[in-house]
Amino acid sequence: MYTFLPDHPAHLHFIGIGGVSMSGIAAILLDRGFTVSGSDSHETEMTRQLEEAGCHIVYEQTAQNITDDIDAVVYTAAIHPQNPEYAAAVEKGLPLLSRAELLGQLMTFYHTPICVSGTHGKTTTTSMAAHILMAAELDPTISVGGVLPLIGGNYHIGNTETFLLEACEYTNSFLNFFPKIAIILDIDADHLDFFKDLEDIRRSFRKFAERIPEDGVLIINADDPACKMITKDLRCRIITYSIQGVRSTYSADLITYDESGNASFRVLSGGKTIGNFSLQVPGQHNVANALAVVALAQEFGLEPELIQKGFSTFSGTNRRFEYKGTTGGFTVIDDYAHHPTEIRATLRTAQRVPHGTIWCVFQPHTYTRTKALLPQFAESLSIADRVILADIYAARELDIYGISSKDLEHEIQKLGTECLYLPSFKEIEMYLHEHAKPGDMVITMGAGNIVQVGESLLEELS
């Protein structure tokens, strides 16, 4: 594999440079003196920022973009060998680096790379940690999988040797990383178009944990059933946390919720109180996320007052129980949840907030996930009072799996929950317009484009 060095800046060309992760990596490399070029299908705010920083971007992917002065080409999993730029790089004999391979190499430039991993909660937890480290004026470089208002985007170029980033398990991307400190939030059955089963996913997280050096630290959720398997005989130091009373390094108790569902809690370690904290994001799952961040902050020697300062300024990221507005007397919330565990956490959070009828407008994400977890989806969605289903969002897949939203509708109805499948967003909007009442809560949910339903309702009824 091609290797580049921080003191020998090279020319790297990014195929699909406008992506959330790709654009952040490109910006960090530009700041370090690298020559960066790239291509994408259309101009965005992210690509405009890169161009202002000195990046040359072409909004068409052609073989001619692969010029002789390029040292290596960077691509994402969405790029196929038939892509004209990828094919041209192969023909020229240029080194090819996946996004994950490049990010792994970039991490070696820093003394303290921190990776936040887990099936659920990565973006939120990375963002919480960013708020606390910034509040402590530690100024890390940050790469997060969503837009974080604190840093005005998905990345921040810091002035220290700390690099905080979100580490995804899909396609084993995080096995290219070199964390000094790693967080594992939880391990659940997901991405079953790539992984064989839950045990396969757990083995992958074990391999990730083995990448932590002897002088490194693993912060892991003791409430996860795989915790002991992941941590057995690891060479690094292990820190555990629990909100369920499992024996651990850090624990949370005295958990209470305000009328918005935001939690306050006490953190204990070794029988002693570390501090009392309050969050500006709702749900019990965020107490667990926050506990992992408290453990991380303790590794930096941060006082409870500084930790709370960070928590007090973090009100969530885009598409995580995000308040969109009120129209016709009902509230519109949007959430990225696309796995049964995430759906359950979001709907349990909604129940803690004053509401009338809870409507869940769900867009299943990928055929493989829907088929593999159909009963679990039905059970989690049934927490809502009423469910409306959109068509499955195909993402990277073809409709060849013999599964549809009608199948999910049938499973939910068998559990006694009112559920209706409507094939178009317009029909969903019309149905909500006619049936949602003042005081109700409408939650658009999924990793696709279902957010458009709530936004259209707000525009039409405002």
Query: What are the residue numbers of the active site?
Result: 122-123, 166
Residue type, 61: Q
> H-type helices in 115-239, by residue range?
122-135, 198-210, 227-231
DSSP string, 233-275: T-SSEEEEEESSS-S-SEEEEEEEE-TTSEEEEEEEETTEEEE
| Distance separating alpha carbons of residues 215 and 180, to the nearest angstrom | 8
Provide the pairing of β-strand 11-15 with 141-148: unpaired
CA atoms within 13 A on the CB side of 456: 16
Strand 11-15 to strand 72-75: parallel, antiparallel, or no bridges (unpaired)?
parallel
> Is residue 371 helix, strand or coil?
helix
> How close are the terminal C-alpha atoms of the chain, in Å?
55
Two structure tokens written together for 379: 């059970």
Structural tokens at position 228: 């002991």
Residues 433 and 460: beta-carbon distance below 8 Å: yes
The angle at the Cα of 118, spanning 256 to 275, to the nearest 5 degrees, equals: 35
Q: What single-letter DSSP state applies at residue 5? A: B
**37-43: long-range contacts, CB 8 A cutoff, minimum separation 24:** 37/11, 37/12, 37/13, 37/65, 37/67, 37/70, 38/13, 38/14, 39/13, 39/14, 39/15, 39/65, 39/85, 40/16, 42/18, 43/18
**SS3 of residue 32 by DSSP:** coil
For residue 96 the two structure tokens come to: 């090819």
288: left (phi over 0), alpha (psi -120 to 50) or beta: alpha
